[in-house]
Amino acid sequence: MLMVVEAVKQAIENAGIITKPGVASRDNNTYIVSGRVDTRHVWVEIKPDPQSANISYVTFQTRTKSSWVVGGRNPDLVLAGRLAEDTTLKLISIVQNTPPTGTTAAP
């Protein structure tokens, strides 16, 4: 799950800035990464899947800047999709660069 948290952080950093990096919940099973992309607020929740420990459940939430005309913050599904896609690509890159367990990396 820590690889997923790292991939989320890299995806948000590529698009904007991280405001709260990987804050763990009380039960230490859920991580929340917060950030800003332009004027949008981003929250990503990462937690283990209840059926399998090696699968992570990731929720992306993106909101536009608050406006009195609109009556609050609206979801930005395009940005959420872009961050989800970038997170997937970052995770693939992290997994491919990680040596298999039980072996040592070549110098």
Candidates 1.10.3470, 3.30.70, 1.25.40, 3.30.310; CATH matching 2-95: 3.30.310
Average pLDDT of the residues in 78-95:
94
| Of residues 29 and 13, more confidently modeled | 13
Residue 105 confidence (pLDDT): 47
pLDDT digits (tens, 9 = 90+) for 52-77: 878 999 999 999 877 666 666 788 89
Which three-class secondary structure string do you get for 47-98?
EECCCCCCCEEEEEEEECCCECCCCECCECHHHHHHHHHHHHHHHHHHHHHC
Residue 18 confidence (pLDDT): 95
Please choose, from the candidates 16, 95, 104, 12, the residue with its C-alpha nearest in 3D space to the C-alpha of residue 56: 95
pLDDT digits (tens, 9 = 90+) for 23-57: 777 776 889 999 999 989 999 999 988 888 789 99
> What's the rounded Cα separation, in Å, for the pair 92 and 90?
5
The encoded tokens of residue 75 equal 């979801």
